[in-house]
Amino acid sequence: MFVATGCTSDVLSLVSEPTATPRPTPTPTPLPRADSLVQAYLSAWERGDYPAMYNLLTPASQRQIDFDSFQIAYQDALNRATVTQVGTQIYSLLHDGPQAAATFQSRWQTARFGEIVADNQMHLAFDQGRWGVVWQRTLILPQLGQDVTLAFLGEQPTRGNIYDSNFHALATQGELVTVGVVPQFVTDEPAMLSLVNRLTGVEPAAIKEKMAAARPDWFVPIADITFEASLENDDLLNQTGGIERRSRTVRTYSGSDSAAHIIGFMGSIPAELKEQYTAQGYTGDELVGLSGVEAWAEPELAGQRGGRLVTVTSGPNPQVLSELSTVGSRAGSSVYLTLDSEFQVQVEQLLGPRKGAIVVMEPHNGAIFAMARYP
């Protein structure tokens, strides 16, 4: 019996085994667009809603600048440019992941410079689950920067006069001269003290006291005198060492107090009215009519203040960097009243200290010739 044994060769068996299914790569959730935020920020600017604007800044920008500083930055620029209305228009918005940039145009309607148009850019960032505006001073105006602000270099026009019906001046622009002393230039103190006392009425002891409280190179103002008095004593004042004069324009009224309640007076802009005057082109440091004809005819009497709107560096020695707009000044117009000032004096004397009022009027055309009252 034969036993046959077979030798089995090694055979490579290919066995198909199950393989793991690859996990799908998560598709990133697209970020929302920033269109509505850009529109909301610019719309809030048009309304002057600075709290809403500040709330739309990125958290990092809100850490960079507090709300008060943010609001002041906008308001200061708009006030200096005498802006009465802000308009904006969005041109484009480009997204790049969590960053975006919008281009827009701002249009400022101003009381002094007409329309100021600027093309600008706004940067945005997506942070803490929302889009926010990246704060930069250039958002207000592209010419501004960290140490660059707006400034108005003005020219004060001559104020118009007020005349009565006979062309007598009731209110005019005059000139006062401040007489002062520079101690280090005094060569003959007794002569200087005598002359200043004669012109101003200030006692020599008071003059010396003022000089002692000042540095030798300071100008020490003593008192004001009229331009005519300064001119009459011009030679003597020039020859007396240490005396200096500085003139300034002032509002002068007729010597009599008659019709003072009609003519009115001028003064600094009241704090509660500063915003109202700023919107009309005032800078806030002017003297304006506060009562009577001075107030009623303020737009005509004041004229138009000219000057340049420029960007300047901040600091103790600002330098002009660029000019945004310029406007010429226009002298104020004079106002002519139907009032007869000589007749006004007579009417006031007739009324005297009795309580009451007198109005003398032409019945055919309503012209007022005199108007008195007491008290």
Look up the CATH number of the domain holding residue 100. Answer: 3.10.450.100
Could you tell me if residue 133 is inside a domain? yes
Beta-carbon contacts of 359 under 8 Å, excluding residues fewer than 6 positions away, are 368, 370, 371
Helices (H) and strands (E) in the chain, counts: 13, 16
Could you tell me if residue 21 is inside a domain? no
DSSP state of 185: G
Give the pLDDT confidence score for residue 265 in this predicted structure.
94
Q: What CATH number should be reported for the domain holding residue 258?
A: 3.90.1310.10
pLDDT, one tens digit per residue, over 217-226 is 999 999 999 9
What is the arithmetic mean of pLDDT over 52-74?
97
pLDDT surpasses 50 at 14: no
Mark whether 183 and 236 lie in a shared domain: yes
pLDDT surpasses 70 at 11: no
Please state, in angstroms and as integers, the Cα–Cα distance from residue 327 to each residue in 111, 114, 149, 286, following that order: 11, 9, 19, 18
* Residues of the chain above pLDDT 90, percent: 77
Mark whether 183 and 323 lie in a shared domain: no
Mark whether 108 and 64 lie in a shared domain: yes
Task: Determine the 3-state secondary structure of 83 from DSSP.
Answer: strand
Is residue 256 very low, low, confident or very high in pLDDT (cuts 50, 70, 90)? Answer: confident
Give the C-alpha separation, 53 to 44, whole Å.
Answer: 6
Mark whether 134 and 184 lie in a shared domain: no
Mark whether 39 and 160 lie in a shared domain: no
Give the pLDDT confidence score for residue 44 in this predicted structure.
98
* Residues of the chain above pLDDT 70, percent: 92
Could you tell me if residue 244 is inside a domain? yes
DSSP state of 240: S
Could you tell me if residue 275 is inside a domain? yes
Query: What residue has token string 């198909």?
Result: 16
Mark whether 222 and 364 lie in a shared domain: no
Q: How many structural domains are present in the chain?
A: 4
Give the pLDDT confidence score for residue 26 in this predicted structure.
60
Point out the domain boundary residue: 249, 281, 298: 249
Could you tell me if residue 49 is inside a domain? yes
Mark whether 130 and 154 lie in a shared domain: no
Could you tell me if residue 23 is inside a domain? no
Point out the domain boundary residue: 216, 249, 282: 249
What is the arithmetic mean of pLDDT over 83-102?
96
Q: Which alpha helices (DSSP H) does the chain contain, by range?
A: 35-47, 50-55, 59-64, 67-80, 189-200, 204-212, 227-232, 234-239, 260-263, 274-278, 292-296, 298-302, 341-351
Is residue 160 very low, low, confident or very high in pLDDT (cuts 50, 70, 90)? Answer: very high
Mark whether 232 and 109 lie in a shared domain: no
Mark whether 299 and 208 lie in a shared domain: no
pLDDT surpasses 60 at 114: yes
Question: How far is C-alpha 177 from the chain's CA centre?
Answer: 29
Mark whether 272 and 366 lie in a shared domain: no
Task: Give the domain range for residue 294.
Answer: 147-168+254-337
Could you tell me if residue 203 is inside a domain? yes
Q: Are 37 and 132 in contact (CB under 8 A)?
A: yes
Mark whether 46 and 132 lie in a shared domain: yes
Could you tell me if residue 22 is inside a domain? no
Mark whether 162 and 309 lie in a shared domain: yes
